[in-house]
Amino acid sequence: MHCGKEKSMKVLKFGGTSVGTPESIKSVTDIIVSQPGRKIVVVSAMSGVTNLLVRLNGALAEGNEAEASIVIEEIRQKHLDLISKLFTSEEKKKATTDLFESYFEMLLETTEEEPGAVREASVVTFGETFLSTIFSNYMEAVGVSNTLLDARDFMHVASVENPDIEPVEKLLFETLHREVPNEVYLTQGFVRIDRNKNINTLNRGGSDFTATIIGAAINAQEVQIWTDIDGFHNNDPRYVENTTALKQLTFEEAAELAYFGAKILHPQTVSPVKEKNIPIFLKNTFTPDAPGTKISSEIQAHGLKAISAKDGITAIKIKSNRMLMAHGFLKRIFDVFDRYETAIDMITTSEIAISLTIDDCRNLQQILDELNEYGEISVDRDHSIICIVGEGVINDRHTFRLFELLNDIPVRMISYGGSSNNISLLVDTKNKIKALQTLNRKLFEEKLVTETFY
């Protein structure tokens, strides 16, 4: 392939908190310099900026000029403060401020464009443009030669669900060979050009996805994702005390954990690099010497590894005495969800009913209207899926203990056996934290799983 010769390159992605302050940007620069060889660095927007841009879009959509002006000034001031604190040379400070102001003027012009999805996507991706420009200038100022790439030149991704790497590979190859060769290339995460050649996004958290798409496109040596946590933990450290960082996960385990709520990784991150067997390393910007988590095809241990939770789940039950076992009934049910492009997370069936879950309720009412003809429908909102993950977890001799949860907490659905690496439980979100803590005690703290499974 075009970029096979780039095998020695690495891809390093730094999230919003990693580039959220002058101090953290200096730390990130040290991390980049400390790694020998050529690398492409992917950066997110400065911490909090994407939320501000989403707020700006909301104000513009509502015609609320006063709110829009407040948000615009907050975004501008946040970046001017960063420039002021980062640069010691007045000359470099002024040059970077002037460059930022020119991009900021582009944002203001964009807010005047025709309302709609294209304008919204254009607005919300300016955070990455601002930060990458400031960061590139800062690295030059401290003697780190780098080339700033515009992700829109090569991140042509028609389908977020199933990205075709080939167009990205071809365009990135052309971009790299058009630019002056350098050891550090810097670009923006999150942004893409869609099938209609419009600016679009890879959805929130999508800078991880940018990094692995680029990694696959250049056949990278590895992809590093730097955040503010020491890799994947065996449970959610926001709700559970004494969680343990995992040193190793398989691609499958990481994909399951990310999809089912582990916030450290964008759910689709793993897919581009899995086929090419390019390892991902999750590292902490603030403790760079910590081992973090390696995600690869290596299976170092079977059995239970980790627990995660996904919120915002809606359960739908379709009860039908007449039709459930009839030929083609399930297909017709699934066709309804397919028509509204709504994915199903969990599904269980009995002789007279089918229960399933979704996390996208944008078309819920239309779906329910169509399902009504198939039977009696009931809907339970505000639920969470608790996911227990590990290579061959259903064969782990200690896994049975998770069912003791039924003694303490009502469980709405259980999915067991669909994957050998995942067991899922559906609980009311008000019981989520108690469920995570109870499972942590039964499966980890009571030491019934050996240390090698962590």
Contact 358, 345 (CB under 8 A): yes
Position 447 scores a pLDDT of: 54
Q: What is the pLDDT of residues 329-367, one digit of tens each?
A: 888 899 999 999 999 999 998 878 899 999 999 999 999
306-453 belongs to which homologous superfamily?
VC0802-like (3.30.2130.10)
Please report, for the chain, the start and end positions of each structural domain, with discontinuous segments joined by +.
Answer: 4-228, 306-453
Nearest to 271 by CA among 245, 295, 300, 291: 295
Nearest to 49 by CA among 21, 23, 25, 24: 21
Contact 194, 200 (CB under 8 A): yes
Q: How far apart are CA 222 and CA 9, in angstroms?
A: 8
- Calculate the average pLDDT of the chain: 91
Query: 419 vs 45, which has greater pLDDT?
Result: 45
Position 393 scores a pLDDT of: 87
Q: How far apart are CA 373 and CA 332, in angstroms?
A: 11
Binding residues for ATP: 13-16, 227-228, 238
What confidence tier does 214 reach under pLDDT thresholds 50, 70, 90?
A: very high
Alpha helices in 262-379 (DSSP H): 271-274, 329-339, 364-371
Q: Is the dihedral of CA 75, 76, 78, 79 positive or negative?
A: positive
Position 3 scores a pLDDT of: 45
Position 223 scores a pLDDT of: 97
What confidence tier does 322 reach under pLDDT thresholds 50, 70, 90?
A: low
Binding residues for substrate: 50, 128
Element containing residue 179 per DSSP (H, E): none
Q: How far apart are CA 39 and CA 144, in angstroms?
A: 13
Q: How far apart are CA 384 and CA 430, in angstroms?
A: 9
Nearest to 279 by CA among 229, 211, 233: 211
Binding residues: 13-16, 50, 128, 227-228, 238
Whether residue 6 has pLDDT greater than 70: no
**Average pLDDT over every residue of 139-154:** 97
Scanning the structure block, which residue is given the tokens 């899926």?
A: 385
What confidence tier does 19 reach under pLDDT thresholds 50, 70, 90?
A: very high
Q: How far apart are CA 192 and CA 155, in angstroms?
A: 5
What confidence tier does 300 reach under pLDDT thresholds 50, 70, 90?
A: confident
Long-range contacts of 429-433 (CB under 8 A, 24+ apart): 429/311, 429/313, 429/382, 429/383, 429/384, 430/382, 432/239, 432/309, 432/311, 432/384, 432/386, 433/239
Nearest to 434 by CA among 407, 414, 396: 407
**Beta strand 347-349 with 353-358: parallel, antiparallel or unpaired?**
antiparallel
Whether residue 453 has pLDDT greater than 50: no
Element containing residue 433 per DSSP (H, E): helix 432-440
Position 452 scores a pLDDT of: 43
Q: What is the CATH number of domain 4-228?
A: 3.40.1160.10
